[in-house]
Amino acid sequence: MSKAYRVQNPANNKVEETFGYITDAELEEVVDTAVSAFKQWRELSYEDRAPLLKKAASLFDERRGELAKIIATEMGKSVKEGDGEINDVVEIFNYYADHGAEFGADQEIPTDKGGTAVMRKVPLGVILGIMPWNFPYYQVARFAAPAIMAGNVVIVKHAEICPRSGQIIQDILEEAGLPKGVFTNVYANHDQVADLIASKHIAGVSLTGSERAGRIIGAQAGEHLKKCVLELGGTDAYVVLDAADPAEAALTAWKKRISNVGQACTSNKRMIVMDDIYDDFVAELVRLAGEYVKGDPLNPGAAGKRECYPLSSRDAAETLVEQVGKAVDAGANLHVGGTIDGEGAYFAPAVITDIPVGSDIYYEEFFGPVAAVYKVSSEEEAIEVANDSNYGLGGAVMSQDEERAKKVAAKIDTGMIHVNIPQARGAELPFGGVKNSGLGRELGPVGMDEFVNYQRFFVAD
């Protein structure tokens, strides 16, 4: 499969449009424009920037139908879920417009050293964002809105299968009144990305992607002493300690797992279930997974049944089939699904149990609709299995006894943990992980702090 920027419809695997890589000369011009834009943008107050972010939010809201159709064709997200993604984008831009001045305010430092000390939050400059395909608008907003509100400008290299969505974000922001160069989408190749990171004009880099990509970008950033934020993979634990209705508990877990066709870093990729409800829980998952039929991302609900939409690409579907096969070869039991249907990227939702803890495949991330379930017989065992992961992004603990759930949740090593909800969402909630899930935080009050210089500003009496 070509790695050029392209719209390759995952419903049928057909390439609908291709886009050439930016030339080195054009990329140099982009950087020069961004540097010039930063000199002007940084001088604006938060109060001057806020209305432009507000306008951007309103434009995303107005054009949500067009935006949802673009990503349905690019990476297979149903227009219904795409509409929900736009809600997140609108919320994020409004959130930083409303709170940017508060988050970026100077902080006075008490001192008896004969002067006044202030900690200023000064924008760093041009920030490179390397963005993924699974949430083409939300992920960019999560990176760009706080960085721009802080006074930085950004260059975005989107996923190769998201050329239209990457460009329309730039179009909307410029229509909202952001000066040219404050946000620029580029169709760069990997060598050009490395050159950007090495450039003296790039002050930092943010990547959302795979662990492998994170190691590469993190190494390049480290070599050139550039600040980086890495939001990588996850094998989030979803612990079910008890349930009055195991089938209902399984439905709640499944809804989380099937969201975005399982292609989310914070999907509940490891369901850890107490032995007394395990059999009923698994049986319901198998029943649910077996009900799905292929759905049209552009016309969700037309089939009149539970619909599963294509994965982002044929490659992604084939990788998932290979992973399921490795799990079965290691001794796991595949109860349902795990196959590709047709020429596109439709993957039959799967339920798999008994993946041997400690096997190579146990530590891999299943980036798609695969429910992997583990039986445990005590809280201690549940915690042990939950923490036996190379990742530490999110997770949840479910129980009728809130105190019991909180006690277990407090012992799980992860950047985000939830009690009695699969995942809380909101622009005000910081996002990020530990271990191989990455470095840094996005969103919330800390979202503007990653790409600023905490400058000590001391004025003598």
The one-letter amino acid code at 337 reads G
* Residue among 253, 252, 272 nearest 380 (CA): 272
Handedness of CA 172, 178, 179, 184 (dihedral sign): negative
* Residue among 58, 88, 54 nearest 71 (CA): 88
* Residue among 458, 455, 450, 460 nearest 103 (CA): 450
Which residue among 74, 231, 365, 450 is the active-site one?
231
Residue linked to tokens 């129980």: 399
CA distance 337 to 323: 13
Which residue among 162, 228, 265, 308 is the active-site one?
265
**Is there a catalytic annotation at residue 265?**
yes
CA distance 80 to 347: 19
* Residue among 304, 289, 278, 301 nearest 251 (CA): 289
**Cα atoms found within 13 Å of the Cα of residue 187, Cβ hemisphere only:** 18
**What are the two backbone dihedrals, phi and then psi, of residue 342, each rounded to the nearest 5 degrees?**
90, -170
Domains along the chain? 6-232+437-460 (3.40.605.10), 237-419 (3.40.309.10)
Alpha helices in 63-78 (DSSP H): 64-75
Encoding tokens for residue 108?
Answer: 């006075």
**What are the two backbone dihedrals, phi and then psi, of residue 238, each rounded to the nearest 5 degrees?**
-130, 100
Q: Mind listing the pLDDT tens digit of every residue in the chain (461 residues)?
A: 356 899 999 999 999 999 999 999 999 999 999 999 999 999 999 999 999 999 999 999 999 999 999 999 999 999 999 999 999 999 999 999 999 999 999 999 999 999 999 999 999 999 999 999 999 999 999 999 999 999 999 999 999 999 999 999 999 999 999 999 999 999 999 999 999 999 999 999 999 999 999 999 999 999 999 999 999 999 999 999 999 999 999 999 999 999 999 999 999 999 999 999 999 999 999 999 999 999 999 999 998 889 999 999 999 999 999 999 999 999 999 999 999 999 999 999 999 999 999 999 999 999 999 999 999 999 999 999 999 999 999 999 999 999 999 999 999 999 999 999 999 999 999 999 999 999 999 999 999 999 999 999 999 99
3-class SS shares of the chain: helix, strand, coil, % to 5: 40, 20, 35
**What are the two backbone dihedrals, phi and then psi, of residue 329, each rounded to the nearest 5 degrees?**
-60, -30
Q: What is the pLDDT of residue 3?
A: 61
pTM of the complete model: 0.97
- Chain Cα centroid distance, residue 70: 18
Cα-trace Rg, the chain:
23
Residue 304's Cβ-count burial label (10 Å; 0-12, 13-18, 19+) is exposed
Encoding tokens for residue 368?
Answer: 């798609």
CA distance 437 to 259: 20
**Is there a catalytic annotation at residue 228?**
no
